[in-house]
Amino acid sequence: MMRKLNLINVLVFLLTINLFAQETDSLKARKAQVSFAYPVGSNGKSALNYSNNFSFNILYGLNGGLNGVEIGSLLNFNKGKVKGFQLSGIINYNTQKSSGILLSGISNICRDSSSGILVSGVLNYSKSNSKGFQMATINIATNEYKGIQFGVINFAKKLKGIQFGVINLLENSENAIPIGLFTIVKKGYYEFEITGGEALFANLNFKMGVEKFYTIYKVAFATFNNKPVYGFGVGFGRNISLTNKQKLSIDLSSNQIVYNNKWNNDLNLLNKADFNYKYSITKKCSVLIGPSFNVYTTKDKVEGKYGTINIPYTIYTNQWDKGKLIMWFGLNAGLSLKL
């Protein structure tokens, strides 16, 4: 697929290398055009001088602009402004402002700003300040983007909105909420926590993202019946500023429990909601303490009883033939270090 994408990009470059110097807003309006492959079409060699209300490109078309609907099997190219609906089997490539709905099999390339909905199989690219909704494997906004990016990899130089992805990349996150497994933000929020609790008494947490929304990676250690207990998990959280030195962190996490080095796939899950008060001792270091709500679900048995962690008391239990659910309130306390 990537080789096919590279060939198409080379074709677009070779076909348009001499067009960018000719860009102009003074385009003639046409109701419709049909082209097989530029310049074989109803607008012929003058196709770049016309903005069309309806454009149909059987293979590919090079046109002046769009104010309506454009459909192409391989490539839709417009050197002028695009407004409306574009559908392409491979690429929509627009050199000036694009607004409306752009759908493509591989990529939507906007060398100027974009506004509206961009959906493609591989790549959405917007160069200037843009807004709307982007959904693709990779979404790239090289300047300010207002709206939502939804993909495996999302990048925005400056985001005012939300990112949903596996990897989120940001340069400016002042008004952004990146939601993903890995969020890398220039001058973002990165913090280590060392905490203790009643069930897992040694915990190391790493948080990355922004204060409004961060991802948590967790590892833990404890003992049960003189045997080692390990925990590892992921979660999400948010810091709420109370004063310059005081914050409230709200963290939700799910942790797989491993007892006595038995790394099997049995259900042994500790889900936690932690509410910690944090007080800054220095600019980088804080102390924290707060309650937690715990929901433990397990199918592991030790000496005929369900459970592989120490539980001080329960507020609710439910046992069935092959497992047990236990709930209780606990306590966390520890130190945090901002990077």
d(CA 198, CA 295): 13
Domain encompassing residue 280: 189-338
d(CA 218, CA 92): 43
Residues 171 and 251 in one domain: no
The answer to whether 143 and 128 are in contact (CB under 8 A) is: yes
pLDDT at 264: 77
d(CA 124, CA 265): 38
Does residue 20 form part of some domain? Answer: no
Residues 319 and 288 in one domain: yes
214 φ, ψ (degrees, to nearest 5): -135, 160
For the domain that residue 254 is a member of, what is the CATH number?
A: 2.40.160
DSSP 72-88: ESSEEEESS-EEEEEEE
CA 113 to chain CA mean position, Å? 21
Closest to 98 measured CA to CA, from 35, 120, 303, 217: 120
Q: Which amino acid is at 96?
A: Q
pLDDT for 234-293, tens place per residue?
999 999 999 999 999 999 999 999 999 888 778 999 999 999 999 999 999 999 999 999
- Point out the domain boundary residue: 184, 204, 219: 184
Does residue 8 form part of some domain? Answer: no
Q: Per the omega criterion (within 30 degrees of 0), is the bond before 291 cis?
A: no
d(CA 335, CA 192): 8
Residue 70 in this model has a pLDDT that exceeds 70:
yes
- Point out the domain boundary residue: 133, 151, 184: 184
The answer to whether 75 and 93 are in contact (CB under 8 A) is: yes
Distances (CA, A) of 186 to 165, 209, 212, 289, 290: 17, 10, 15, 29, 30
Residues 42 and 161 in one domain: yes
Residues 201 and 161 in one domain: no
Residue 25 in this model has a pLDDT that exceeds 90:
no
pLDDT for 184-201, tens place per residue?
999 899 999 999 999 999
Does residue 12 form part of some domain? Answer: no
The answer to whether 232 and 222 are in contact (CB under 8 A) is: no
Residues 40 and 174 in one domain: yes
Residue 136 in this model has a pLDDT that exceeds 70:
yes
The answer to whether 143 and 130 are in contact (CB under 8 A) is: yes
Work out the average pLDDT over 144-151.
Answer: 96
pLDDT band at 21 (very low <50, low <70, confident <90, very high): very low
Report the number of distinct structural domains present in the chain.
2
pLDDT band at 22 (very low <50, low <70, confident <90, very high): very low
β-pairing verdict for 285-298 and 268-280: antiparallel
Does residue 299 form part of some domain? Answer: yes
Q: What are 20's strand-pairing partners? A: none
- Point out the domain boundary residue: 184, 201, 228: 184
